[in-house]
Amino acid sequence: MKKNKIRSFSDNIRQMFILYAIIPTFLIACLCMALILGIWQYTVHTTNHSANAKISNVLEKVVETYANEVSRLSKDATLITEPIDTDKLVEIKRSMYKLSSKTKYAAKLYILDSELNSVFSDYNQMPGFLIDNTCYDWGIIRKIRENPQSISLKITTGKEQVLCIGTGIQDQEEVAGYIVVTIPAKEFQLLLTQVSPQTIITDENGWVYLTNNYDFQDLLGRFVRKYEYSEGFIQYKAKEYYLLQNSICNGMLRVYTITSHDMESRMFYIMGVFILFIFTAIVIITYFISGKVAKKSTRDIYKIAEAFEQVKKGNLERYLDIKSSAEFKEIGEAYNLMLDGLKNNIKENKELTRYAAFAQVKQLEAQFNPHFLFNTLDNIRFMSKIDSEASDKMIVALSTLLRYSLSDAEEEIQVEEDIRYTESYLTILKIRFNRRFTYEIDIEEKVKKCLIPKLMMQSIIENAVKYGYAEEDTLHVAIKGFEKGGNLIFICKDSGAGIREDTLRQIRENLQSPVNKTNHHGIYNIHRRIQLMYHGDYGVTLESKLGEGTVVTLTLPIRMNLDL
């Protein structure tokens, strides 16, 4: 039972730790991590997205501006049909300069006739997008020929990447010429450095126009086909990236923005493992600590429980000394006070009882037979007229007896001393009854020094005399004293009238009750006195047969020293 109590207390403490401290903290930590992760992911997304948007916007605007210019110029068929005069030349050039400063990106303008010869005399070299002026079915020219009325975009992959924006110049339903604006990729290099994610700009087939990331290209310079349409968090070549793509200019160009978050991922992973590790350690440590803490607390409880056990057994000397915690200390001190209080109570009770007993005894003693006094005084008076010597003896004997009985020096007296005074009593009786009374006293040598209550003998004999004479003439009283079975036994046998059976029963019953219900005090008092003084299986027992006599047995403890 005790073991169960300790275990469940310890478990309780453990449980409380884990339930109310560790688990909530762990959950909160996890939540925080998840939140941080979420926020970080969101940040990565928004940064990348805005970078992509920025670059896409710039690119689109530039392309649109030049496309519009190209469109505008293409409407003028005279560029081809007539040689361009100086004014027009200047105007076109000025327009280009304006666009260049407006968009902040410079471009070159080419105007070609139907034979792919340049009519815009500024450039002597073959434009980079032309192989040869016999090749119509190639590159931007091919595209323009496929859709002469709309804007075509093409990236050339020569020595350097160039974006071509072109359209056809119509002259009465026929393609009379071509107008192409080229923007070299390096114009946009600075733009790419303005955003933190890396950027790859490609055409619709993934061929790279401009990039500052070199991981995501294949050997031929195309964006890796596997991730061409991917978005979001990807893993590529064992590294973590966040990738977004955007199609612009009617899908002819694509802008990819890549954020590498390898380091952050690794950090999160390590943090996660670290937190898990710490919490596992905490749980383990708590498990052991709570066991220890519980043991320490229950030690005090156990101490208290044991102290109470001792009190139950009657040991009132077990005091508690607990210093471990304020509450337990209070309990300990209160317990000690209680113990002291209890002990005081018991002592007082004992004293009271003893006092009561003592008082009762005193009272019993006070019931020393007054009848005897009257009778004896009567006898003395009678004797004094007849036999003055005898009456003298009686007076002496009576005074001795009275003196003896009134002195309350000791309540107990040695057997041989009490017998001596009993002799006085017997003397009185002998004188009174003369030949009608005989007695004999036989005390064992070894019990002569034992202690017995004062005037006990006398009481017994008195009783025998009082009731013994009923019909008989003579009375013989035999007193024996001996040790038997560890006790001191006195037997008073008289040859008197005996006691009737029902009376005997009555007397016996009366002896058992704590209060004398009858008017017969003698035997009862003796018995009560013995019980109060000695608390045990001691007292008076009666045997009697009507007409034969009575035997009164006194059972007393053997006491040699004066101690009560």
Query: Which of 30, 58, 84, 224 lies at the binding interface for other proteins (CB under 8 A)?
Result: 30
Decide if residue 9 touches other proteins (CB under 8 A).
Answer: no
Decide if residue 534 touches other proteins (CB under 8 A).
Answer: no
Residue 473 and residue 469: Cα distance in Å, rounded? Answer: 7
**Of 218-226, 429-437, 449-457, 529-537, which segment contacts other proteins by CB under 8 A?**
218-226
- E-strand stretches of 54-157: 108-113, 152-157
Q: Are 453 and 492 in contact (CB under 8 A)?
A: no
Residues in the interface with other proteins (CB under 8 A) total 42
Decide if residue 134 touches other proteins (CB under 8 A).
Answer: yes
Nearer to other proteins, 269 or 355 (CB): 269
CA atoms within 13 A on the CB side of 130: 24
CB of 331 to other proteins, least distance (A): 29
Query: Which of 9, 120, 227, 469 lies at the binding interface for other proteins (CB under 8 A)?
Result: 227
Q: Is 261 exposed, middle or buried (0-12, 13-18, 19+ CB in 10 A)?
A: buried
Ramachandran quadrant class, 324 (left: phi over 0; alpha: psi -120 to 50; beta: rest): alpha
Decide if residue 250 touches other proteins (CB under 8 A).
Answer: no
Residue 513 and residue 531: Cα distance in Å, rounded? Answer: 12
Please report, as a single letter, which amino acid is at residue 541: T
Nearer to other proteins, 242 or 524 (CB): 242
Which contiguous run of DSSP H or E holds residue 377?
helix 370-386
Q: Are 404 and 425 in contact (CB under 8 A)?
A: no
CB of 317 to other proteins, least distance (A): 43
Q: Are 459 and 526 in contact (CB under 8 A)?
A: yes
SS3 for 307-354 is: HHHHHHHCCCCCCCCCCCCHHHHHHHHHHHHHHHHHHHHHHHHHHHHH
Nearer to other proteins, 48 or 56 (CB): 48
Instruction: To the nearest 10°, report the CA torsion of 304, 310, 315, 318.
Output: -20
Decide if residue 125 touches other proteins (CB under 8 A).
Answer: no
Q: Are 66 and 181 in contact (CB under 8 A)?
A: yes
CB of 278 to other proteins, least distance (A): 17
Nearer to other proteins, 228 or 264 (CB): 228
Query: Which of 87, 115, 132, 471 lies at the binding interface for other proteins (CB under 8 A)?
Result: 132
Query: Which of 75, 85, 102, 158 lies at the binding interface for other proteins (CB under 8 A)?
Result: 158
CB of 198 to other proteins, least distance (A): 19
Nearer to other proteins, 221 or 536 (CB): 221
Decide if residue 87 touches other proteins (CB under 8 A).
Answer: no
**Of 135-143, 183-191, 351-359, 532-540, which segment contacts other proteins by CB under 8 A?**
135-143
| Cβ count within 10 A of residue 404 | 19
Residues that bind other proteins (CB under 8 A): 15, 19, 23, 27, 30-31, 34, 37-38, 41, 45, 131-132, 134-139, 142-143, 154, 156-158, 203, 205, 207, 219-221, 225-234, 242
